[in-house]
Chains A and B, each alone.
Chain A
Amino acid sequence: MSNYIRLTKILLKNGFGNAFGKGQKSNKKKLGQALLYLFVFISILPLFFMVMGMTNTIYDALSMIRQEGLVLVLGFWITAMAIFFFGIFYVINVFYFSGDIENLLPLPLRPSQILGAKFTVTLIYEYITELFILLPVLISFGIKSSGGIPYIIYAIIVFITLPIVPIVYAAILNMIIMRFTNIGKRRDLFRMIGGIIGMVIAIGFNVIIQRFVNNNMSPEQLQKMLVEGNNSLVSISNSIFPSNGFAAIALTSPGEVRALVNFGFYAAFTIVLIVIFLTLGELLYFKGVIGVSETSSKRRRLSSKEYEKNVIQTPIIKSYIIKEIKLLFRTPIYFMNCILMNFLWPIFFVIPLAANPSGFGAFQEIFAVLSNDKYAGIILVVSFGISIFVSATNSIAATSISREGQNIYFNKYIPLSYKDQIMAKVLSGVIVSLVGTISMFLIAGIVAKMPVYLILLSITASIMAVLFTSFIGIFIDLRAPKLDWDNEQKAVKQNFNSVISMMACIFIAALTIVPLVVFKLSVMPVFAIIISAYLLINFMLYKLLMNVGVKLFARIEA
C-alpha cells in the first residue's frame, strides 16, 4: 500500500510538474502563464453554462412526466462514454508506452501497485474531463431538484468515482490486447493493429449493447413505465455502465432509503470492478508490458534493390516532410494521438447515430440533407468547421517543435534555415490533416451522395482550414515549446500548447463561421467569403511566422 501511495505521488509530480515549457520562470513568464490559464478558463465557461442550460431545459421537459432523472442518466452516459473512449488512448499511453515503464520494471513492485498508481493518475486527469460535462449537470440537477445535503454528499462521491468504471473497461480491454499482441518479431506492428482492432471492438460492442437494451422492452411495457412516472425509466435505461443507473436513482431520491440501497449497489459494482481489474492486472500486465520498447530488427544486408530505393537525392524540404511523417507513424504515442485521432473523429460523429435503433432512419434524413442543394451553403460551412476541428485536434503542428524534445539542438546546427524548417513542419501537418479531411468528404460523397461540386468546394475550403490551424499551431508551439520531457506522451498529450492552439483555432473559426450560419447565405457566397477571408488570414499568419516565428525559433536554447 505504501509503495502504491509513494509511486502515485511521484507519477503525479512528474506529470503535472510541467505542463508548460521549462522549469524555472521569470515573473513576466509566470504572469503570461497565469493570463493563459485565465484565457482557457474564460473560453471554457460558456461551454459550462451551455451544459447547465441544456440540463435545465431537459429537466423541465422531463419533469412534466416525472422522469427528470433521465437527465442524470444522459449526463452520466455521455461522461462515461467520453471517458471510456479517451481512456482507451490514455491507458495505452500511460500504462504501456510511457517512458517511465523501463525505470519501474526493475523496482521490486507488484503489477497491481504499478497499475494502481497509474490508474489513480489517470483517474485524476479524468476529473478535468468531468468538469465540463458532469459538473454542470450535477449542479443544475441539484438546484432544480433541491436535494439538500444528502444530494450534495452523493453528488460529490459520484463525481469522484464515476470515471472508475469506464477507465477499468478501457484498461481491461487494453491489457488483453497488449498481452496477446506482445508476441513474435513484428510486435510493434502487431500493437498498432491490435490497438485499432480494440477500438473497433469497443465501438461495435457498445452499439450492440445499446440496441439490445433498447429493443428489449415491448412498447406496452415502456408505455406503462412512462405513465407510472416516479423516475421509473431511470432503472431500465442503462447500457454498458449499469452502475450509473444505481447512482442516478440515488441522486433522484437522495433522502430516501432506496437511495442508500442503490448507492450500495453502485459502490459494490465499482469495487468489484476494481478488484477484477487488479486481479487481471497481476496476470496480464507484466506479460504485456515487458519488451514493449523492443524494436523489431532484421539484421541483414540490404539487397541492392532496397539500397537503390533508399539512397536517392530528394529536395531537402520534401525530405524533411517525409522524415516528420515517418516519425509520426512510427512512434506509437504519436501515431495514436496525432494520426489515429485524425481519422477517428468521423467515427465519433457516427456512433450516436449507429447506437440508436432508429439510427438508420436518422441516417436517411441526414443523407437527404447532404444531397439537397437547398442546404449546400450550410453544409459547406459545416464541412469547413469540421476541417478546422479535425486538424486543430490532431495537434500535429501545435506539437511539432515540442516533439523534438532534447534533440532540438539538431535543428540548430544543421544548415537549413528556420524558415524552411518551419514550413516543412507546417506542411507535414497540412498533408496528414488533408488526407483525413479529404477521405471524410469522399466517404460522404459515396455513402451520402453528396454532390461532386460540393465535395470539391469542401476540399478547397478544407485546404484553407488546415493551413490556418497548422500556422496557428506551430506559432503557439514556437512561443514556448515543451522540450523538457522524458517520454513522448508529455510532448503531445500533456502539452498545454496543443490545448491553447485548439481553442484559438476554434475561437477564431467560430467568429467567421457564425455570421455565415446566421445570414443563411447560399453556397457560392459562402465559398467566396471563406476562401477570401482565409487567404488573407493565412497570408498574414505566414508573414508572422516568417518574421516573428523565425526569431522565436532562433531564440530557443538547447
Chain B
Amino acid sequence: MIEINNVSKSYNTKGKAVDSLNITIPNGEIIGFLGPNGAGKTTTIKMITGILSADEGSIKINGIDINEKPLEAKKQFGFVPDNPDMFLRLKGIEYLNFMADIYNVSGELRKQRIDELSGRFEMTDVLGDQISSYSHGMRQKIVIMGVLVHSPSVWILDEPMTGLDPKSSFLLKEMMREHANSGKTVFFSTHVLEVAEKVCDRIAIINKGKILYYGTVHEMRNNLKTDESLEKMFLEMTENE
C-alpha cells in the first residue's frame, strides 16, 4: 500500500511539478500512472522512493513514512527507474548478486530466483557479460530482474515496458498480475494506453502536477457517459486543461 497525502514539489520558483497530490494505492491492485510528457509522473515516483524529498505532505509505504523511517520504508519496495543505464561495467550476474546483498537475500534463495528469472527473461546466456554489452531492452530486463530478486511487496516501475520485446512485456504484465493477485501492490507509469486499459485495476491520470482522474476505466466511461476508447478520453481530458 502507498499513501500519498497532500504532496507538492517544485524544482524552482516557477510553478509546481507536483501540486497537492492525494492518492492511496491499495494492496492487491495494479495501478497505472498516466499523463503527458512533463506531467509529473517521474517526479512523483522519485518522491515515493526517497530520491527527492517532497516540499510538503507525507508519503507512506506499507504504513511507514519515507521521511521518518527511510531505511524501513525503502525495504518495502523495489524500483525500476526510467533509464536502465546503470552499473554498465558490472556483469549481469554481479549486478543481481549485488542487489541481493543490499536487500539481504539468503544465498540459497537468490540462487533459485536468479535461475528462474534469467530463464523466464531469456537472459541466461548473457549473465556473464558486462551490462555495457547489453541492448536497451536487455538492460531494462536486468534492472527488472534486480528488483524481482529481492521480491519486494510493493513494485514501483517508471515506464517499465519501454524497449521490451513483446514476449518480455507479456511476461512482465503476467508477473504484475500474479503479484497483485497475491495481495501486493504494483504502481507503474506508462504511455501505452492499451496496456493501462488491459492490465490495470485502476488508473491515475496526472497533468501539470495535478491528478485529473483516479479510478477504474469502466467508471470513467460511466462518468463521461461515452463508450469511447481510453485514448480518446485521455486526449480530451488532458487537452481541456
* Chain A residues within 8 Å of B, Cβ to Cβ: 293-302, 306-307, 310-316, 319-320, 323, 326-327, 330-331, 406-407, 409-410, 412-417, 557-558
**Contact partners of B126 in chain A: CB under 8 A:** 297, 299
Known contacts A300-B125, A407-B86; is-contact A413 B51 (Cβ 8 Å): yes
Query: Which of these, A294, A301, A310, A331, contacts B94 with CB under 8 Å?
Result: A310
Tell me whether A313 and B90 are in contact (CB under 8 A): no
Complex Cα spacing A141 to B86, Å = 53
Complex Cα spacing A417 to B50, Å = 12
Closest to A303 in B: B128
Apart from A301-B124, A313-B100, 14 more pairs, CB < 8 Å: A295-B132, A302-B128, A310-B91, A310-B93, A313-B105, A319-B98, A327-B90, A410-B81, A412-B51, A413-B51, A413-B79, A414-B74, A415-B71, A415-B72
**Contact partners of B130 in chain A: CB under 8 A:** 295, 297, 330
Tell me whether A297 and B102 are in contact (CB under 8 A): no
**Contact partners of A310 in chain B: CB under 8 A:** 91, 93-94, 97
Known contacts A298-B128, A302-B127; is-contact A413 B90 (Cβ 8 Å): no
Tell me whether B127 and A415 are in contact (CB under 8 A): no
Known contacts A300-B125, A413-B49, A413-B51; is-contact A316 B102 (Cβ 8 Å): yes
Complex Cα spacing A299 to B133, Å = 10
Query: Which of these, A302, A330, A412, A414, contacts B89 with CB under 8 Å?
Result: A330
Chain A nearest CB from B241 CB (Å) reads 28
Tell me whether B50 and A302 are in contact (CB under 8 A): no
**Contact partners of B74 in chain A: CB under 8 A:** 413-415
The count of residues in chain B whose C-beta lies closer than 8 Å to any C-beta of chain A is: 43
A-B contacts, 28 of them at CB < 8 A, read A293-B132, A295-B130, A297-B129, A301-B124, A302-B93, A302-B127, A311-B93, A311-B100, A312-B97, A313-B107, A316-B101, A319-B97, A319-B102, A320-B102, A323-B87, A326-B90, A327-B87, A327-B89, A407-B86, A409-B46, A409-B81, A412-B50, A413-B74, A413-B79, A415-B103, A416-B71, A557-B52, A558-B46
Tell me whether A313 and B110 are in contact (CB under 8 A): yes
Complex Cα spacing A456 to B124, Å = 48
- CB of B136 closer than 8 Å to a CB of A: no
Complex Cα spacing A307 to B100, Å = 15
Tell me whether A311 and B102 are in contact (CB under 8 A): no
**Contact partners of A557 in chain B: CB under 8 A:** 52
Tell me whether B111 and A311 are in contact (CB under 8 A): yes
Closest to B79 in A: A413
Q: Which 4 A-B pairs have the closest CB atoms?
A: A415-B74, A297-B129, A297-B133, A319-B101
Complex Cα spacing A55 to B28, Å = 79
Complex Cα spacing A141 to B106, Å = 70
Tell me whether A323 and B90 are in contact (CB under 8 A): yes
* Chain B residues within 8 Å of A, Cβ to Cβ: 46, 49-52, 71-72, 74-75, 79, 81, 83, 85-87, 89-91, 93-94, 96-98, 100-107, 110-111, 114, 124-130, 132-133
**Contact partners of B49 in chain A: CB under 8 A:** 412-413
Tell me whether B129 and A295 are in contact (CB under 8 A): yes
Chain B nearest CB from A250 CB (Å) reads 50
Complex Cα spacing A320 to B99, Å = 10
Chain B nearest CB from A192 CB (Å) reads 13
Tell me whether A413 and B107 are in contact (CB under 8 A): no
Tell me whether B106 and A313 are in contact (CB under 8 A): yes
Complex Cα spacing A231 to B90, Å = 59
Complex Cα spacing A323 to B102, Å = 12
Tell me whether A298 and B124 are in contact (CB under 8 A): no
**Contact partners of B133 in chain A: CB under 8 A:** 294-297
Complex Cα spacing A313 to B102, Å = 10
Complex Cα spacing A410 to B46, Å = 11
**Contact partners of A415 in chain B: CB under 8 A:** 71-72, 74-75, 102-103
Tell me whether B128 and A413 are in contact (CB under 8 A): no
Closest to A188 in B: B130
Closest to B113 in A: A311
**Contact partners of B128 in chain A: CB under 8 A:** 298, 300-302, 306
Chain B nearest CB from A449 CB (Å) reads 41
Complex Cα spacing A412 to B86, Å = 14
Query: Which of these, A294, A307, A314, A412, contacts B93 with CB under 8 Å?
Result: A307
Chain A nearest CB from B227 CB (Å) reads 41
**Contact partners of B96 in chain A: CB under 8 A:** 311
Closest to B110 in A: A311
Query: Which of these, B100, B102, B129, contacts A414 with CB under 8 Å?
Result: B102
Chain A nearest CB from B18 CB (Å) reads 14
**Contact partners of A410 in chain B: CB under 8 A:** 81, 86
Closest to B108 in A: A313
**Contact partners of A307 in chain B: CB under 8 A:** 93, 111
Tell me whether A313 and B129 are in contact (CB under 8 A): no
**Contact partners of A323 in chain B: CB under 8 A:** 87, 90, 94, 98
Chain A CB count within 10 A is highest, among B75, B128, B130, B132, for B128
Tell me whether B107 and A311 are in contact (CB under 8 A): yes
Chain A nearest CB from B176 CB (Å) reads 20
